[in-house]
Structure 1
């Protein structure tokens, strides 16, 4: 089973000892960096909907790109999904398995393995950064991400893709080009008005599920039913769209 997740933001973190690997889409990344370098501070703010200070930080990152330090992707990202993944406490065995089966969708790098060496950046997949390939990053990446996922799945002998990414990021995967069976879990909270998706909790649960798959080397959709992290329990639901519910009392205790 291949798993995909999406990043929230990148951080400048302390060096780690993990052996780094090289991202596969280096030419495409270089093209996007060159394009980003042409943006003014005003353009950067508008493109990313960020403050002037953050725009200046990211303008400087792209300006100084060649000299920036690289770190493994799984150690670089932060956010609710990565809180759930808790990569810092993954065992070496789980990390090795994740290197083969976990993929991180990235606006700048396309598709990353956990130990691929990357530099701090900000470029959301939904950014409308126009290039010669089109008006946004969905057009820029086209079928490339789906084709790479097909190849990675074939390499590990699976036709299953567990989608733990956000809609914004998974929307960059061309479903027509993707040959894999996609499994997309939903995480609900038991609320007075009925079960609802709580964004930050669902993001953490998606990260925790990615960890669960790596730790237990899961290979079948039915294996996901044993997921209990954070108090979630599988509900009767289709294999390709499993539903997990967390009770109100569990939510208060978490």
Structure 2
């Protein structure tokens, strides 16, 4: 089983990492080439390209300038500990034991505009580059053209090593689109998280993102091997709804008190 996650925009490089174990990203060459594409951009151009404030665009231009192909404990942090958005609050990697992180290292893949695919303990340097960014590059008009079949082929190889063919997609559509389905040789199960609101079941972005992290945590702690291992997920009042689900689309719902 491979569990796919999106990265986070928010980053935490202030808190000390809870583990010393680390690995290096597997697509450093491609990342370095993308950084070279980004370096000539001014803060105003980055603000326009990425729809960022002046402060954030200035920060990220400085990040591109500071980025180095050599990763160290001073300029890097493990991806699963550096990412700090809703998904990662649900995942709560800082409370995982080393054995849990070791399992996640082999079974969790974080999709990234800059780094391609990250393992949880891969060191990353600070960056902002969302997968949907229309960044012209030597391979095409955007990052989907840049990564091409690379990410699907990488996941295929990882599944082959595991002698498995199952992917649990907890990534957003923006990120999962970078994994070309025609090239992917796997069964993909989507997990959907819905809340009851105003008389209907709805996917509420903030809650759904957090729930994806909670599901990833559930799979890690259970060392999930098969789809059925996900069905007893009950974090924060969610429960599997068999009637609303399909073979490759697991729906989890909850009704919170008003």
Normalised to the residue count of structure 1, the TM-score between the two structures is 0.95
Whether the 8 Å contact between 1:13 and 1:76 is mirrored in structure 2 is no
SS at match of 1:27: helix
Residue-pair matches, total: 250
Deviation by residue 1:56-111 (Cα, 9 ceiling, x = unmatched) = 11001111213870111111111111111111111211111000000100000000
Which deviations, in whole Å up to 9, do the C-alpha atoms of 1:96-152 show, x marking residues without a partner? Answer: 100000010000000000011110110001001110100000110000011111111
Structure 1 segments unaligned to the other structure (5+ residues): none
Larger CA deviation: 212-221 vs 101-110:
212-221
Specify which of 130, 135, 156 is matched with residue 136 of structure 2. Answer: 130
1:29 alignment partner in structure 2: 31
* Equivalent in the alignment of 1:4: 4
Distance 1:157 1:77 in 2: 30
Using the TM superposition, give the Cα deviation of residue 248 of structure 1 relative to its aligned residue in structure 2, in angstroms: 2.6
How far does residue 223 in structure 1 lie from its aligned partner after superposition? 1.6
Tell me the distance in 1 between the aligned counterparts of 2:86 and 2:46.
24
Displacement after TM superposition at 1:193 (Å):
2.2
From 51, 57, 60, the counterpart of 1:58? 60
What corresponds to 2:14 in structure 1? 13
> What SS is found at the alignment partner of 1:168?
helix
CA shift at 1:247, angstroms?
1.2
Q: CA RMSD in A?
A: 1.3
Asked if the contact 2:238–2:252 (Cα under 8 Å) also holds between the matched residues in 1, the reply is: yes
> Structure 2, unaligned stretches of length 5 or more?
none
Asked if the contact 1:103/1:114 (under 8 Å) is kept, the reply is yes
Structure 1 residue runs of 4 or more that deviate by more than 6 Å after TM superposition: none
CA distance in 2, matches of 1:12, 1:159: 35
Quote the offset at 1:190 in angstroms. Answer: 1.4
Provide the C-alpha distance between the structure 1 equivalents of 2:63 and 2:198, rounded to a whole number of angstroms: 46
Secondary structure of the structure 2 residue equivalent to 1:226? coil
What is the rounded CA distance, in whole Å, between the counterparts of 1:52 and 1:85 in structure 2?
31
Q: Shift of residue 43 of structure 1?
A: 1.0
Q: Tell me how far 1:11 sits from its aligned partner.
A: 3.1
The structure 1 residue matched to 2:164, chosen from 132, 149, 158, is 158
Counterpart among 242, 246, 253 of residue 250 in structure 2:
242
Greater share of helix residues, 1 or 2?
1
2:201 corresponds to 1:195: yes
DSSP-derived class of the 2:202 partner? coil
1:60-209 alignment to 2 at 5 Å? Answer: 60-66=62-68, 69-209=75-215
